[in-house]
Amino acid sequence: MLLSVLGKTFRFLGYTVQYGCIAHCAFEYLGGIVVCSGPSMEPTIQNSDIVFSENLSRHFYSIRKGDIVIVKSPNDPKSNICKRVIGLEGDKVCTSNPSDFLKSHSYVPKGHVWLEGDNLRNSTDSRCYGPVPYGLIRGRICLKIWPLNDFGFLRASPNGHRFLDD
Amino acid sequence: ILCLRSPRNPEQKIIKRVIALEGDIIKTIGYKKKYVKVPHGHIWVEGDHHGHSFDSNAFGPVSLGLLHARATHILWPPQRWQKLQPMLPPERKPLQREEE
C-alpha cells in the first residue's frame, strides 16, 4: 500500500521535473507571454496589455530597427522594460528633445541599441540612460493578445521622424 | 571572477574580476574619467593583467543584466587544477564604499 503511494509520488515528481525543464527551455529560447505596465509605449501598447514575445530573434541577431523589444533594465537587472528599437549599432540618433532648438546627434556604439518609448513625452528610455547593450535584450514582441479588440500584430511607430536614415 | 556577455560584442563572453559594486568610487586605469562612481545596477570589472585587458577601463561599468555565470574552478589543463579564490588586489580597492 505504502509502496504504491511512494511509486505514484515519485512518478508525479518525475513528470513535474520533465515539464518544468521543457517549460524553462521554451521560455528561454522560444518565447512567452508578457504583461506590460506603464504609459511609455502608448498608443501602441496600453497599460496592462498582454503581448506575446519571441526570443528566437535575439539568438539569431535579427532584431531590426522599429522592433518592439523586451529588455532587462540597465539600472535594475530584476525588472524588464518594453521599448522600441530606434537605432542599431552604427546608426545616427538624435539625443536632444524635440523642444530643444539645437539638435544634438550621436552614433550608437558597437554592440548597443538605442531604445525609445512611443509615448515620447512620458517615457524614460535611451534619451535618459543612454544606449543599451544588445546583450540585455530578452525578446521581441510580435503579437498583442489582450485586449481582444486590439488583437494582432503591432503597429508601426507613430514617431517616424525619430528614425534618421543615412 | 565572473563570466559576462561583452557589451561591445554580444556574441562573445568575457571573463573578468569584479573590482567594485554599485555605489563605490574607484580610481581607473586608462579610462576617460579618472575617478568613477559605479552607477546603480552596474559593476566594474577588470582583468588581472592590467595593461592588456579589454575590461571596464575600456567600456565603462557594465550592467548586472549582462552577467552570465561565476567562474569557480579551473578544470583544464590538469596541472592548473585549482579553486579560484575571490581576491581583490589591494591596490585596486575602492576609495569610498557607500554604507547601506
Bridge partners, B25 (sequence order): B37, B96
- Return the pLDDT at A13: 92
- Domains in chain B (CATH in brackets) are 2-97 (2.10.109)
**Closest to B45 measured CA to CA, from B76, B72, B7:** B7
pLDDT reported for residue B100:
40
Q: Rounded distance, CA A70 to CA A86, Å?
A: 14
Give every CB contact of residue A162 below 8 A, 6+ residues apart in sequence.
A86, A93, A94, A116, A120
For chain A positions 38-67, those within 8 Å of chain B (CB to CB) are 61
Contact of A110 with chain B, judged by CB distance below 8 Å, is answered with yes
Q: With 0.80 as the threshold, say if the pTM is over it.
A: no
pLDDT in tens, B12-48: 888 888 888 888 888 888 888 888 888 888 998 888 8
Please give the grid coordinates belonging to residue B16: 573578468
Interface contact A127, partner B, CB < 8 A: no
Size of interface A-B (CB pairs under 8 A): 47
Q: How far apart are CA A164 and CA A116, in angstroms?
A: 13
Q: What is the mean pLDDT of residues A72-86?
A: 87
Q: Which of B2, B13, B66, B68 to mutate to test the interface with A (most CBs of A within 10 A)?
A: B66
- A111-140: average pLDDT: 87
- Domain spans of chain A? 33-163
Candidates A60, A76, A137, partner chain B, best to mutate (most B CBs within 10 A):
A76
Q: Which residue of B has its CA nearest to A90?
A: B8
Given this structure, which CATH class describes domain A33-163?
mainly beta
Model confidence at B84, in pLDDT bands (50, 70, 90)?
confident
Residue with cell 498583442: A144
Chain B CB within 8 Å of residue A79 CB: no
Q: What is the pLDDT of residues A23-71, one digit of tens each?
A: 888 877 778 888 888 788 887 888 888 888 888 888 888 888 888 888 8
Q: Could you tell me where the beta strands, DSSP code E, fall in B21-99?
A: 25-27, 35-37, 42-46, 62-63, 67-70, 73-74, 82-83
Mean pLDDT of all residues in chain B?
Answer: 83
DSSP string, A2-67: HHHHHHHHHHHHHHHHHHHHHHHHIIIIIEEEEEE-SSTTTTTS-TTEEEEEESHHHHTT---TT-
Q: Is the ipTM of this complex over 0.85?
A: no
| pLDDT band at residue A130 under the 50/70/90 scheme | confident
> A94 versus A13: which is more confidently predicted?
A13
pLDDT of residue A50: 84
- The maximal CA–CA distance of chain B, rounded, in angstroms, is 42
Q: Do A133 and B40 touch (CB under 8 A)?
A: no
First to last CA, chain B: 24
Please say if the pLDDT value at position A166 is more than 50.
no
Q: What Cα–Cα distance (Å) separates residue B77 from each residue in A38, A156, B13, B82?
A: 51, 53, 20, 10
